[in-house]
Chains A and B, each alone.
Chain A
């Protein structure tokens, strides 16, 4: 049997495409968590991004307004979270869960009018170069700008955290907000910024789903990807490069199990559907076993409220 080498390229490209929302949301949440804030509202922020992007696209007709609008929607809903947890010092876990429930509810409400409306085609870059290189062509070329952004994000995030002053400040705040505050760093400001950035990335991840990946609005269309993104952050031990690996494994297994189901492999469907979740977590646990490194990269103050007393 001859397998078309470009077909393999296409499968890899589709795996990468399914990894995009996970990478975006995880890298955003990673920055939030590195500053010591645990935001469990990723799923909620994603779904808000998804409906906002789709609705703005339908209403205004502008893809640019839609994409940035979705990010802004993510920022706005995460502002609620930031205000509650940083200004009113509420519990991170409870507030994050409430955010997810809120997001799913309100998106369903807004989305009622958009069910069944077809999406728009999103422009892709380097379409013409797709056939120039075998195998690599379909992998590298012919994707949306969001796709390219997502795959550069882990590297940008890693550089930002390790090499820049602001990245250092974010890590410092996550390590010890008390010390940071005594050093004259405005802990609350840093955490607000990190939460809002996480919201923007989740919003973008949602918009990718409803505008590019499956261009339509379906209620609850994020389908738990926000939770997977959260798990990726933890199991990657807050390492953006490992997030990339984890997202690819998860995306890959999701796609492959679809194909396996289609071919009719004699394995129970439920097991196949569960496979990506199990394997991703096992792989990430195995590659992140060094407990010394875990200690060094885990934000020590994660999920703890910081209240500056005077």
Chain B
């Protein structure tokens, strides 16, 4: 049976921002549709409207000519619209089966049979009786998909589904999605990754700043044309000039181990590597394999043995982050609003948090506000932070601007080594480009970077050497030219 889904003149306005501006779209089953746009383009708002999470201010939704009233997620479910959210909607402490039965009206036994049939059909293999928190991200996503499939949906919406998956898991997902589509499920695929759109989809709708920019068939598009539509301007592609790397060693990690008391953290086992001046070492891996522990050990949030880290001929394993900064190391943690900056504090106050003995931010215990403000203004202008109000609370900065501020704060003292963890996570293409350019510039100044990232493209673009972290162990360090995304994917999955 054919499914036709129509979005008609949908508008949703938030204070200070039009999330969806008079959007109209039509979808038919048998095809896979991409909804493409940068962060904040309004695509998530649109699919949340389709799944009943958000109620639009204006506009109507029609499924097979029937006007749907979607006032809650259960309305969407009743109307056979299934949605897999970007951030999983699973209950971590409940078992897989409990997660699945919670919104089902079926008896335990018949539901179990149904789930088994679905898993066999699509080659999923998941233990139904273990708690969800023990699953990998890919498995969690499969649980979400099964949850939708139980209800035999007519429409399946996937919101940025590959952000947490490995290459292999991604291609498995694509196979499943194509199968669903052949079986008559209408698939709407939300993403900002152009490669995936080209690989998977039949038609693409591009959104920008809440407005629908274009609807076209994939065969008439290519990556550049889509990128330009998405960003609204011609993007220059940046590329790192491969310079010959020096052999002057800057940091060396020797036999570093970390055993966590929290069983849900990853233990680090026998970490050994070194980084030369002017070099960028990329550390790839699926999130949750020890990256955040490694970052914390390197930054001094977790203190290790003195001799395990040698930096610029000093043993610094037992120093805290402040002390390490005095040796000219700099850190940019993953979570901008939780770890790197304090959201309720003003921009210049956040700048002052990173103070050095030499920076003279404090005189006899009193804050030297003029000095800090002057310093903050310099960061804002040097690093293109799009605001001129240093009194602004940092929570009101966009992700991109906040990241520029943080990187700027770290770099203004010209450190010898910058350690960053997912520096472009969740940023839009413009900001990503800026951050990448900045990182390349650091290397050109003969300074070093350790880049821990879950974004394979980013690592291949910026790194001179790459290693993969899996279950707390590092793979051997490879030259970036020898590495392909496929090879990284295999290592990230734990194979040798």
Q: Report A's interface with B, CB cutoff 8 A.
A: 165, 168-169, 171-172, 175-176, 178-185, 291-292, 295-298, 300, 310
- Interface stretch of the complex, out of B97-105, B222-230, B337-345, B453-461: B97-105
CB distance from A104 to the nearest CB of B (A): 35
Per-residue CB contact flags for chain B residues 384-419 toward chain A (1 = under 8 Å, else 0) read 000000000000000000000000000000000000
List of A residues within 8 angstroms of B54 by Cβ: 310
CA distance A172 to B262 in the complex (A): 23
CB distance from A26 to the nearest CB of B (A): 20
Residue B256 lies at the interface, judged by CB distance under 8 Å to chain A? no
One of B55, B74, B88 near A310 (C-beta < 8 A): B55
CA distance A172 to B72 in the complex (A): 18
CB distance from B422 to the nearest CB of A (A): 22
Once A168-B98, A168-B102, A295-B133 are accepted as A-B contacts, the answer to whether A179 and B93 lie under 8 Å apart by CB is no
- In the complex, the answer to whether B93 meets A184 with C-beta atoms within 8 Å is no
CB-nearest residue of chain B to A186: B72
Residue B30 lies at the interface, judged by CB distance under 8 Å to chain A? no
Given contacts A179-B88, A183-B89, A296-B93, 13 further A-B contacts (CB under 8 A): A165-B102, A168-B102, A171-B91, A171-B94, A172-B102, A175-B94, A176-B89, A176-B91, A178-B89, A179-B90, A180-B91, A185-B103, A300-B92
CA distance A203 to B463 in the complex (A): 65
Q: Of residues 20 to 74 in B, which have CB atoms within 8 Å of A's CB atoms? A: 51-55, 72-74
One of B73, B98, B262, B264 near A182 (C-beta < 8 A): B73
- In the complex, the answer to whether A171 meets B74 with C-beta atoms within 8 Å is no
List of A residues within 8 angstroms of B331 by Cβ: none
CA distance A279 to B318 in the complex (A): 38
Per-residue CB contact flags for chain B residues 96-126 toward chain A (1 = under 8 Å, else 0) read 0010011100000000000000000000000
Q: Of residues 238 to 268 in B, which have CB atoms within 8 Å of A's CB atoms? A: 261-264
CA distance A175 to B95 in the complex (A): 12
CB-nearest residue of chain A to B76: A184
CB distance from A269 to the nearest CB of B (A): 39
CB-nearest residue of chain A to B99: A172
CB distance from A271 to the nearest CB of B (A): 33
CB-nearest residue of chain B to A294: B263
CA distance A261 to B90 in the complex (A): 54
User: Which of B101, B103, B262 lies at the interface centre, i.e. has the most chain A CB atoms within 10 A of its CB?
Assistant: B103
CA distance A135 to B262 in the complex (A): 46
- In the complex, the answer to whether B55 meets A184 with C-beta atoms within 8 Å is no
Q: Report B's interface with A, CB cutoff 8 A.
A: 51-55, 72-74, 77, 85, 88-94, 98, 101-103, 131, 133, 261-264
The prevalent SS among residues of A at the interface is helix
CB-nearest residue of chain B to A180: B91
CA distance A31 to B310 in the complex (A): 52
List of A residues within 8 angstroms of B88 by Cβ: 179
One of A168, A298, A310 near B94 (C-beta < 8 A): A168
CB distance from A176 to the nearest CB of B (A): 6
- In the complex, the answer to whether B263 meets A183 with C-beta atoms within 8 Å is no
CA distance A185 to B94 in the complex (A): 16
- In the complex, the answer to whether B73 meets A181 with C-beta atoms within 8 Å is yes
CA distance A185 to B104 in the complex (A): 12
CB distance from B131 to the nearest CB of A (A): 6
CB distance from A171 to the nearest CB of B (A): 6
Once A168-B101, A184-B103 are accepted as A-B contacts, the answer to whether A179 and B53 lie under 8 Å apart by CB is no
CA distance A178 to B85 in the complex (A): 12
- Summed over the interface, the residue pairs from A and B with CB atoms below 8 Å come to a total of 65
CA distance A310 to B102 in the complex (A): 24
CA distance A181 to B85 in the complex (A): 13
CA distance A297 to B101 in the complex (A): 19
One of B73, B85, B91, B131 near A172 (C-beta < 8 A): B91
CB distance from A216 to the nearest CB of B (A): 44
CB distance from B86 to the nearest CB of A (A): 12
- In the complex, the answer to whether B92 meets A183 with C-beta atoms within 8 Å is no
List of B residues within 8 angstroms of A182 by Cβ: 51, 53, 73, 85, 89
CA distance A172 to B98 in the complex (A): 9
CB-nearest residue of chain A to B90: A179
List of A residues within 8 angstroms of B53 by Cβ: 182
CB-nearest residue of chain B to A296: B93
CA distance A150 to B133 in the complex (A): 34
CB distance from B59 to the nearest CB of A (A): 15
- In the complex, the answer to whether B93 meets A297 with C-beta atoms within 8 Å is yes
- In the complex, the answer to whether A300 meets B102 with C-beta atoms within 8 Å is no
List of A residues within 8 angstroms of B91 by Cβ: 171-172, 175-176, 179-180
Could you show 8 A-B contacts with beta carbons less than 8 Å apart? A168-B98, A171-B91, A179-B88, A182-B73, A291-B263, A295-B263, A295-B264, A300-B92
CB distance from B119 to the nearest CB of A (A): 21
- In the complex, the answer to whether B55 meets A172 with C-beta atoms within 8 Å is no
CB-nearest residue of chain B to A184: B74
- In the complex, the answer to whether B92 meets A172 with C-beta atoms within 8 Å is no
List of A residues within 8 angstroms of B89 by Cβ: 176, 178-179, 182-183
CB distance from B47 to the nearest CB of A (A): 12
- In the complex, the answer to whether A172 meets B94 with C-beta atoms within 8 Å is yes
CA distance A26 to B413 in the complex (A): 56
- In the complex, the answer to whether B92 meets A176 with C-beta atoms within 8 Å is yes
CB-nearest residue of chain B to A176: B91
CA distance A184 to B51 in the complex (A): 10
- In the complex, the answer to whether A183 meets B94 with C-beta atoms within 8 Å is no
- In the complex, the answer to whether B263 meets A175 with C-beta atoms within 8 Å is no
List of B residues within 8 angstroms of A178 by Cβ: 89
CB-nearest residue of chain A to B48: A182
CB distance from A163 to the nearest CB of B (A): 10
One of B72, B93, B262 near A300 (C-beta < 8 A): B93
- In the complex, the answer to whether B93 meets A175 with C-beta atoms within 8 Å is yes
CA distance A204 to B51 in the complex (A): 43
List of B residues within 8 angstroms of A300 by Cβ: 92-93
CA distance A297 to B92 in the complex (A): 11
CB distance from A300 to the nearest CB of B (A): 7
CA distance A55 to B357 in the complex (A): 69
List of B residues within 8 angstroms of A185 by Cβ: 102-103
One of B73, B85, B92, B103 near A175 (C-beta < 8 A): B92
CB-nearest residue of chain B to A290: B263
List of B residues within 8 angstroms of A168 by Cβ: 94, 98, 101-102
CA distance A185 to B73 in the complex (A): 9
CB distance from B355 to the nearest CB of A (A): 33
List of B residues within 8 angstroms of A298 by Cβ: 93
Q: Which 9 A-B pairs have the closest CB atoms?
A: A184-B74, A179-B89, A175-B91, A184-B73, A182-B89, A172-B91, A296-B93, A175-B93, A183-B103
List of A residues within 8 angstroms of B72 by Cβ: 184
CB-nearest residue of chain B to A163: B108
List of A residues within 8 angstroms of B102 by Cβ: 165, 168-169, 172, 183, 185
- In the complex, the answer to whether B131 meets A296 with C-beta atoms within 8 Å is yes
List of A residues within 8 angstroms of B131 by Cβ: 296
CA distance A171 to B94 in the complex (A): 8
CB distance from A58 to the nearest CB of B (A): 46
CA distance A182 to B73 in the complex (A): 6
User: Which of A178, A184, A292 lies at the interface centre, i.e. has the most chain B CB atoms within 10 A of its CB?
Assistant: A184
List of B residues within 8 angstroms of A291 by Cβ: 261-263
CA distance A180 to B85 in the complex (A): 13
CB distance from A159 to the nearest CB of B (A): 15
CB distance from B44 to the nearest CB of A (A): 13
List of B residues within 8 angstroms of A181 by Cβ: 73
